[in-house]
Structure 1
């Protein structure tokens, strides 16, 4: 890898880390863990209900992390689960959960929308286009990784 690429990736990774830190601060300020906010955000972004498997896929969280967050939110009366077929589960906001989600995840969604609304449309389109291109390329690179022989026998999540 050449030095320029390394410097650019260092800057890119720093920016991603800073963005993650800002989201973490917003989550904390709104009284939620990062995982609980990710679950609420995903549900809000999908109209107030969605399949459990979709929360995992869309949020990028593991099933175990999503289930832990769901248990806490369910115990707090924010949401509930219902059967959606033989194995699938649908997650829905309660009436009080809708208000809570609007006051938490809704504020973040509104802030994000305001930022994109303040940019010229062509900049938003280009930003999304480049982000999608990077995602596609990094997924391909991930598929082509050669497993580390040293890690054989270890859990892949540890």
Structure 2
């Protein structure tokens, strides 16, 4: 059983890596860093006005990584950052005319490719894939948290014995 799970995990992780590589190569082909590409993708799919904080929380990006990419995109004239009404701490990501045109050119064709490929699965397969992916992520989060606690405990024990 253990060996089977190990082989299945290797296959799953390899597929995840291939999927990540597909997006990385797409971003590189349109001359964007991975982070800048995902900012375009997220801002386009969520609509104008998503905030830096929302982007970081929903997509598990560090604020520093996003902030650096946003500043570069702003310098290039693709986006502008504007304070959210009534909140001087939160900034919205807004496309400029140039940014909208660029996003339309690079994101819309990708979204269509995603829709077509996902649509090749049955509705049940799509629902199962989403559910099982979410479940796997939650289980892995829990197990990694346990592992990190155990490692931290071992580190404390080691320091005491030194």
Q: TM-score, normalised on structure 1?
A: 0.87
| Cα distance in 2, alignment partners of residues 143 and 110 from structure 1 | 37
- Equivalent residues, number: 152
| Cα distance in 1, alignment partners of residues 121 and 60 from structure 2 | 27
Aligned equivalent of 2:120 = 118
SS of equivalent to 2:32: coil
* Unaligned residue ranges in structure 1 (runs of 5+): 153-158
Stretch of structure 1 that moved more, 112-121 or 32-41: 112-121
Q: TM-score, normalised on structure 2?
A: 0.85
Aligned equivalent of 1:9 = 9
Aligned equivalent of 1:156 = none
- After superposition, what is the alpha-carbon deviation per residue over 1:47-75, rounded to whole angstroms, capped at 9, x for unaligned? 13301111112232211111111011101
Aligned equivalent of 1:140 = 142
SS of equivalent to 2:88: coil
In structure 2, the CA distance between the partners of 1:129 and 1:30, relative to structure 1 (3 Å rule), is same
Runs of 4+ displaced beyond 3 Å: 149-152
| Cα distance in 2, alignment partners of residues 21 and 100 from structure 1 | 22
Q: How many Å apart are 1:151 and its aligned residue?
A: 7.1
- After superposition, what is the alpha-carbon deviation per residue over 1:4-58, rounded to whole angstroms, capped at 9, x for unaligned? 1111111111111111111111111112110100111110110133011111122
Q: Which has the higher helix share?
A: 2
- After superposition, what is the alpha-carbon deviation per residue over 1:61-114, rounded to whole angstroms, capped at 9, x for unaligned? 211111111011101111111111131111111122111111122222221111
In structure 2, the CA distance between the partners of 1:64 and 1:118, relative to structure 1 (3 Å rule), is same
Q: Pick the structure with greater CA Rg.
A: 2
* Unaligned residue ranges in structure 2 (runs of 5+): 157-162
Give me the CA root mean square deviation: 1.9
In structure 2, the CA distance between the partners of 1:147 and 1:52, relative to structure 1 (3 Å rule), is farther
